[in-house]
Structure 1
Amino acid sequence: MCGMQTVYHARSLIDAQLVKDALEGAGIPAFIAGHYLTGGIGQLPACDLLAVQVPAAAWPAARALIHDIDARERAAAAADAPASGLPVGRPA
């Protein structure tokens, strides 16, 4: 495998940036694909424009990290506790 793999589909640019920052904080290089397309909202379909991508070799670690963050967010929401704000979209 080579190239970049999508690890997360974001709902907004802020959502994508938070996930990218979390990945990079864990030492995983990340890229936001589609961020230039957000300027075309109204002329383009407003869904699935943004994705966070990582190198194929880092995909398993990135996916595990995102699922861990998602599980913590769901637990915080279930407990009605303040959440960190990560992530809002959906893992790939």
Structure 2
Amino acid sequence: MQIAYNARDLTEAHIIAGLLGAHGISAHVGGHYLQGGLGEIGAAGFTNVQVDEDDYLEARRLIAEYEGAATEDGRSVPPVNDAGEFYARWFLLLLLAVAVGFVLTL
């Protein structure tokens, strides 16, 4: 099996797997148990969609169509700005700064 898509989260991975399944491509979503590794913070980047090597090129073509969903005039839709991921990164940075400050006071 090859990784056809690295998803931001579990939901997106299942959307892609469903898209591929609708076109007759068997897909496996990996990374289910890694999502809770950071507690309630929405962990990102741990999930992927895997397909058989024979289906890899067709899967990548379908995913490319999905990612570049065109408007009526043929221009690509700009990607959605994920503010949640932005705030999660700043929260983790703040948490790290507090931890370093705590260790330095010991």
**Superposition TM-score, scaled by structure 1 size:** 0.69
**Whole-angstrom distance in 1 between the partners of 2:15 and 2:65:** 14
Q: Map of 1:8-87 to 2, 5 A cutoff?
A: 8-42=5-39, 46-72=43-69, 75=75, 77-78=77-78
The structure, 1 or 2, with the larger RCO (C-alpha pairs under 8 Å, 6+ apart) is 1
Q: How many Å apart are 1:26 and its aligned residue?
A: 0.4
| Structure 2 segments unaligned to the other structure (5+ residues) | 79-106
Cα deviation per residue 1:26-45 (whole Å; 9 max; x = unaligned)? 00000011111112125xxx
**Whole-angstrom distance in 2 between the partners of 1:21 and 1:76:** 22
**Superposition TM-score, scaled by structure 2 size:** 0.60
The runs of at least 4 consecutive aligned structure 1 residues that moved more than 4 Å come to 73-76
| Structure 1 segments unaligned to the other structure (5+ residues) | 79-92
Q: How many Å apart are 1:70 and its aligned residue?
A: 1.0
**Whole-angstrom distance in 2 between the partners of 1:14 and 1:5:** 20
Higher strand share: 1
Asked if the contact 2:6/2:48 (under 8 Å) is kept, the reply is: yes
**Whole-angstrom distance in 2 between the partners of 1:70 and 1:19:** 10
Higher helix share: 2
The structure with the larger Rg is 2
* 2:21 partner SS: helix
Q: Sequence identity of aligned pairs in percent?
A: 36
Aligned counterpart, 2:94: none
Flag the 1:26–1:71 CA change in 2: closer, same or farther, 3 A: same
